[in-house]
């Protein structure tokens, strides 16, 4: 009865627009008070302890590095480079879009930041070369979902905290699925743009060399990062700090495309984003504690056990459930609320926790592009000046591509687990 | 009153920018010392973690003011009728109650840990915990004012 009351409270308050961090805090505190566990000091201590983690320091740093690179105009260099590589085939500029998104994902951990930055460059450019603006917007926001799947990834840092999975293992596990998804988008673009006229212009070998040199520092970053973490040289947090230094050196010293005064704004902006995510992590730790006291994870496991004893059916149920969740909840709260509940059940069904993490993340990334609450869908519609409805219509075939990729990633664990195992993480 | 509020905002903004800058700087310094000179310092990790927590609490208030928290808003603020308005006010009062609850807890922590030193820097934990009641008081004022005005919290201007 209490639980039902609390769930309705949570749903109503969040529907009314109260920030989710506070919705979680209110519900959990009320629940704890009902069960006689809550005291103010314990609540404050839980929030503090939930945020007091060395690994979480990677979050503001990856965020900051991504924002510095975006503000420093790194995207333009990547787009020029991608244009030289794949711009001359049929639907070339659309392929450039997918490739630029993939390259940007290698240094940025947030799909929203990438979508906003690339959208403002690619949508006008594609419209000018005769692509439908809605197609350009849908493609940009779709291709952008690889950002949190390819390392570095803010979402993976957050996922690793309650589940105690190694961030390094998660980072490596995301590489092949991200490449697979980009390849799927490229294949779809090839089909969708098969009647598109070819572009005539040819670049000289000199131009190619210059663009490569310009793009190389950015392309090297993910290699250094993953190599450093894998080789035990850095922790993920140290890698994030190094990436910040690298981004500063690149934009302020090498390219001189970022002024010191702009940096203050970037720091402030990154701090606010960090606070909004971290507060959710803090209040979700009271929430998780309340769920544990109420035995919700065990009850969910029992429910799923009763529903099926087949792990493939289990994965299907989880995927459908999370796709629905992703339509209304943002990725971070969805992970903080549902992963502590679903993860033990997945392990009980014999699914590798790292593989399960990739399934959950890829699944929720489909949701960032779905109405009514698709953060990136709203962002790209705002930037392109298009109605959400018309972008959604253009997104329909992309949903099919994404769900197909999700199914392959779900039912072929090898795709996610090959690289981390090959490099010595896990069994 | 107005100028006092502006002063608080400026101070908090300055603290947010400085915290993040210090976190990035000391952690880079630590990497350089550890791998360049093989002599890591004992305090950068702890300092950064505390700064991140301080940044989160103060930044949570600032994010409320800037409409930067993550939320849904399926039921738009313009929705007419007495029920949505009443529920919205109730949600704001509950949020005020929640931050008040945590703020009181923070005060308890400040008192009980006043002379307990932190692991690495040997700073009294009570001093670190002060950010909790201060930020919660700011958020309490924000929610109470929003409830009084019959307004709502804006969210999702950015992820």
Provide the residue-wise pLDDT of chain B in tens; the chain has 159 residues.
Answer: 778 889 999 999 999 999 999 999 999 999 889 888 888 888 999 999 999 999 999 999 999 999 888 887 677 666 677 888 888 899 999 999 999 999 999 999 999 988 888 888 888 999 999 999 999 999 999 999 999 887 777 765 433
Q: Within a domain: residue B157?
A: no
Helix or strand or coil: residue B117? strand
Under an 8 A CB cutoff, do A17 and B53 touch? no
Q: Which of B13, B27, B106 sits opposite A241 (nearest CB)?
A: B27
Shortest Cα–Cα distance, B155 to chain A (Å): 7
Which residues on B lie below 8 Å from A262 (Cβ)?
A: none
Based on the structure, what is the number of domains in chain B?
Answer: 1
Q: Within a domain: residue B62?
A: yes
What confidence tens digit (pLDDT) does each residue in A49-76 have? 999 989 899 999 998 998 898 888 888 8
Shortest Cα–Cα distance, B120 to chain A (Å): 13
B121-159 burial, b if ≥16 CB within 10 A, otherwise e? Answer: eeebbbebbbbbbbbbbbbbebbbebbeeeebbbbbebb
Q: Within a domain: residue B81?
A: yes
Shortest Cα–Cα distance, A342 to chain B (Å): 23
Structural domain that includes position B125: 2-148
Q: Which of B52, B71, B84 sits opposite A56 (nearest CB)?
A: B52
Instruction: Please report the residues numbered 34 through 93 in chain B whose beta carbons come closer than 8 angstroms to any beta carbon of chain A.
Output: 34-35, 45, 48-50, 52-53, 55-60, 62-64, 66, 68-77, 84, 87-88, 91-92
Mean pLDDT (whole number) for A100-117? 83
Under an 8 A CB cutoff, do B91 and A233 touch? no
Q: Residue B77's pLDDT is what?
A: 66
- The residues, ordered by sequence, that sit 6+ positions from A147 with a Cβ below 8 Å of its Cβ are A101, A104, A105, A108, A109, A110, A111, A113, A114, A153
Q: Within a domain: residue B154?
A: no
Mean pLDDT (whole number) for A171-182? 94
Token couple for A48: 């503090």
- Is the pLDDT reported for residue A199 higher than 70? no
**Residues above pLDDT 90, as percent of chain A:** 36
Shortest Cα–Cα distance, A140 to chain B (Å): 17
Q: Within a domain: residue B158?
A: no
Residues in a beta bridge with B117: B124
Under an 8 A CB cutoff, do A272 and B28 touch? no
Phi and psi at residue B124, to the nearest 5°:
-60, 130
d(CA A23, CA A15): 10
Token couple for A323: 């796709």
Name the more confident of A225 and A45: A45
Element (H, E) at A203: none
Q: Residue B119's pLDDT is what?
A: 86
Q: Within a domain: residue B63?
A: yes
For residue A216, name the pLDDT band (cuts at 50, 70, 90): confident
Q: Residue A201's pLDDT is what?
A: 63
Q: Within a domain: residue B41?
A: yes
Asked whether the beta carbons of B126 and A58 are under 8 A apart, the reply is: no
Phi and psi at residue A104, to the nearest 5°:
-65, -35
Q: Residue A70's pLDDT is what?
A: 87
Q: Within a domain: residue B153?
A: no
């Amino acid at each position: 009865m209490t639980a039902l009351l609390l769930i309705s409270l949570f749903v109503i308050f969040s529907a009314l627009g109260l920030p989710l961090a506070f919705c979680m805090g209110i519900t959990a505190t009320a629940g704890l008070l009902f069960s006689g566990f809550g005291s103010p000091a314990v609540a404050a201590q839980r929030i503090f302890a939930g945020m007091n983690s060395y690994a979480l320091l990677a979050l503001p740093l990856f965020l900051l590095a991504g924002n510095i690179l975006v503000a420093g105009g790194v995207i333009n260099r990547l787009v020029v480079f991608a244009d030289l590589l794949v711009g001359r085939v049929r639907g070339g500029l659309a392929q450039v879009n997918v490739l630029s998104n993939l390259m940007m994902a290698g240094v940025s951990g947030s799909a929203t930041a990438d979508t906003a930055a690339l959208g403002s460059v690619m949508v006008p450019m594609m419209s000018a070369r005769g692509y439908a603006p809605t197609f350009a917007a849908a493609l940009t926001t779709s291709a952008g979902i690889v950002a949190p799947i390819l390392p570095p990834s803010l979402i993976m840092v957050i996922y690793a905290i309650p589940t105690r999975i190694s961030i390094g293992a998660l980072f490596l596990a995301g590489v092949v699925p991200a490449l697979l998804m980009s390849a799927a988008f490229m294949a779809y673009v090839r089909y969708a743009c098969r009647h598109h006229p070819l572009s005539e212009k040819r670049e000289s070998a000199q131009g190619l060399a210059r663009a490569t040199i310009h793009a190389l520092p950015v392309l090297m970053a993910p290699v250094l990062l993953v190599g450093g973490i894998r080789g035990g040289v850095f922790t993920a947090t140290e890698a994030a700090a190094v990436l910040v230094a690298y981004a500063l050196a690149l934009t302020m010293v090498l390219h001189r495309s970022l002024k010191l005064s702009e940096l203050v704004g970037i720091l402030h902006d990154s701090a606010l984003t960090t606070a909004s995510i971290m507060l959710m992590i803090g209040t979700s730790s009271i929430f998780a504690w309340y769920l544990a006291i109420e035995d919700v994870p065990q009850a969910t496991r029992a429910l799923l056990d009763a529903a099926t004893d087949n792990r493939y059916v289990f994965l299907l149920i989880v995927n459908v459930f999370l796709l629905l969740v992703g339509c209304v909840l943002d990725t971070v709260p969805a992970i903080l609320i549902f992963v502590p509940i679903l993860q033990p059940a997945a392990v009980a069904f014999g699914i590798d926790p790292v593989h399960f993490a990739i399934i959950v993340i890829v699944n929720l990334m489909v949701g960032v592009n779905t109405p009514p609450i698709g953060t990136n869908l709203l962002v790209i519609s705002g930037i392109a000046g298009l109605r959400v409805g018309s972008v959604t219509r253009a997104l329909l075939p992309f949903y099919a591509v994404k769900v197909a990729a999700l199914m392959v990633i779900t039912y072929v664990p090898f795709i996610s687990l090959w690289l981390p195992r090959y490099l010595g993480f896990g069994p | 009153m107005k100028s006092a509020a502006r002063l608080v905002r400026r101070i908090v903004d300055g603290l947010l920018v400085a915290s993040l800058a210090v976190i990035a700087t000391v952690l880079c310094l630590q990497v350089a010392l550890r791998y360049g000179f093989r002599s890591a310092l004992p305090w950068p990790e702890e300092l950064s973690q505390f700064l991140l927590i301080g940044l989160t609490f103060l930044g949570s208030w600032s994010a409320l003011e800037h409409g930067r928290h993550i939320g849904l808003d399926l039921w738009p603020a313009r929705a007419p009728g007495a029920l949505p308005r009443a529920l919205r006010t109730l949600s704001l009062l509950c949020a005020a109650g929640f931050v008040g609850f945590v703020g009181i807890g923070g005060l308890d922590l400040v008192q009980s840990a006043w002379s307990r030193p932190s692991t690495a820097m040997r700073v009294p934990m009570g001093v670190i915990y002060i950010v909790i009641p201060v930020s919660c008081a700011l958020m309490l004022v924000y929610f109470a004012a929003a409830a009084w005005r019959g307004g709502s919290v804006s969210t999702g201007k950015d992820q």
